[in-house]
């Protein structure tokens, strides 16, 4: 359990604290919070549309930032690295949900983050 939590916070240190100002970190928070909301059945159709629209905007900006940071790297390689990173985020989130369930404080923090993502207007 301790290893799971350590891995979770190593993978995305800003998780549940909204401390990550970097657009890639914000995108990562959208991913993990969205997964938690889906698995815990905490989505509302209308609000989910707003969330999805916001996620699309943040994801595009994150990919632009990744490409800008990856100068000299093949764009496809940068995309593949990012996909691997996203898979790690998803795995860590699923492991957290399996280990602690939807009523844990950590997952509740993700659900609060998801609700916040539903209210942002870009």
pLDDT tens figures, 25-77: 999 999 999 999 999 988 778 788 888 899 999 999 999 999 998 888 899 99
pTM: 0.78
pLDDT tens-digit readout, 90-121 = 999 999 999 999 999 999 999 999 999 888 87
DSSP-derived secondary structure letter, 18: T
Domain that holds residue 59: 2-119
Confidence of residue 1 (pLDDT cuts 50, 70, 90): very low
CA distances for 90 relative to 67, 93, 97, 119, 120, angstroms: 22, 5, 10, 23, 23
DSSP class of residue 82 equals: H
Cβ(93)–Cβ(7) under 8 Å? no
117, 55 Cβ separation under 8 angstroms: yes
Overall domain count for the chain: 1
């Amino acid at each position: 359990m301790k290893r799971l939590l350590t891995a979770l916070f190593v993978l995305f240190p800003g998780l549940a604290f909204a401390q990550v100002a970097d657009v890639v970190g914000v995108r990562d928070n959208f991913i993990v919070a969205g997964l938690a909301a889906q698995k815990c059945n905490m989505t509302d159709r209308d609000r989910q549309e707003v969330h999805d629209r916001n996620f699309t905007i943040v994801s595009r900006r994150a990919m632009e930032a990744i490409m800008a940071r990856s100068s000299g790297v093949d764009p496809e390689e940068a995309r593949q690295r990012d996909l691997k990173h996203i898979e790690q985020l998803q795995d860590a989130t699923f492991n957290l949900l399996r280990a602690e369930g939807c009523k844990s404080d950590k997952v509740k923090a993700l659900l609060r983050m998801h609700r916040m993502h539903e209210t942002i207007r870009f």
